[in-house]
Structure 1
Amino acid sequence: MYLLRSTGAPRVSLNAFLFGFAAAAVLVAGALSYLASSQPDGLDATTQRGCTVVAEQLEGECIAQSAEDHELADSPLADYTVGGDSALTGLAGILGAAATFAVLFALVRILLAARPSRSRVG
């Protein structure tokens, strides 16, 4: 399938566009992952109001004290790291972006294959 431009510019295949977009996203994810803050985000910060963190334990009264670890908290890519090594945050970003695009490519393939073909009238 090709994307057509009315300006007479060369055609760009859908696959080339998706692979180019995915490559750019993977590079950005790998580079910007190191700039991510280790501070709690908005939801974490809100649920921790009323508590203080002492030696990675919550003290006081806050919503976060009733929170439980996720089933995948011990998985290899938990906490945006690889195997718990925070030096590999960029690799975790790359793997996450690559997995997301693998799902996207699979869905696009399925949707394009299921689409009825159009007959051309000449």
Structure 2
Amino acid sequence: MTTATKTTETKRAVPFKWVAVGIAVVALLLAGVVSYYASANPDGLEYVAHKTGFLDSAAEHGAADGPLADYSAKGVDDARLSGGLAGVIGTVVVLVIAGGLALVVRRRPNGTSDEA
């Protein structure tokens, strides 16, 4: 009779910092690289508006002249580079806001409490 030996693997916890950095890197790569290959054709809403004839009746919104309006970075002449840059800037803004919210609402250790 043979005895099977079990190998015990110890799982190491990955620090949250590295998980957050990994998420940020993937998000920035997707925003910068994948958006470079995005279609220049109108999106579905614009297509339907054009087909039904009300595309020209749309009014400009308040942020139409903003620095990231129309999925592009203002002042960058290359359309693909401008779209990629807008994607990266937007991603950084979202990650900063999400990180800030995570810091605000995170759990505090049991030893510290604001209760009196």
Per the normalisation by structure 2, the TM-score is: 0.75
Report the equivalent of 1:117. 109
User: Take 2:95 and 2:61, find their aligned partners in 1: how far apart are those partners?
Assistant: 24
Gaps of 5+ in 1: 1-6, 51-61
Q: CA deviation at 1:88?
A: 2.3
Summarize deviations over 1:30-49 as a string: whole Å, max 9, x none. 00111111111111111111
Structure 2 unmatched ranges of 5 or more:
1-8, 112-116
Report which of the two structures shows the higher radius of gyration computed on alpha carbons. Answer: 2
Q: Name the structure, 1 or 2, with higher relative contact order (CA <8 Å, separation 6+).
A: 2
AA in 2 matched with 1:74:
D
Q: Which runs of 4+ in 1 moved over 6 A?
A: none
Instruction: Give the percent of matched residue pairs that are identical in Structure 1 and Structure 2.
Output: 33
Match of 1:77 among 68, 87, 92: 68
Moved more, 63-72 or 28-37: 63-72
Q: Which amino acid aligns with 1:30?
A: G
More strand by share: 1
Contact 1:78 1:84 in 2 (8 A): no
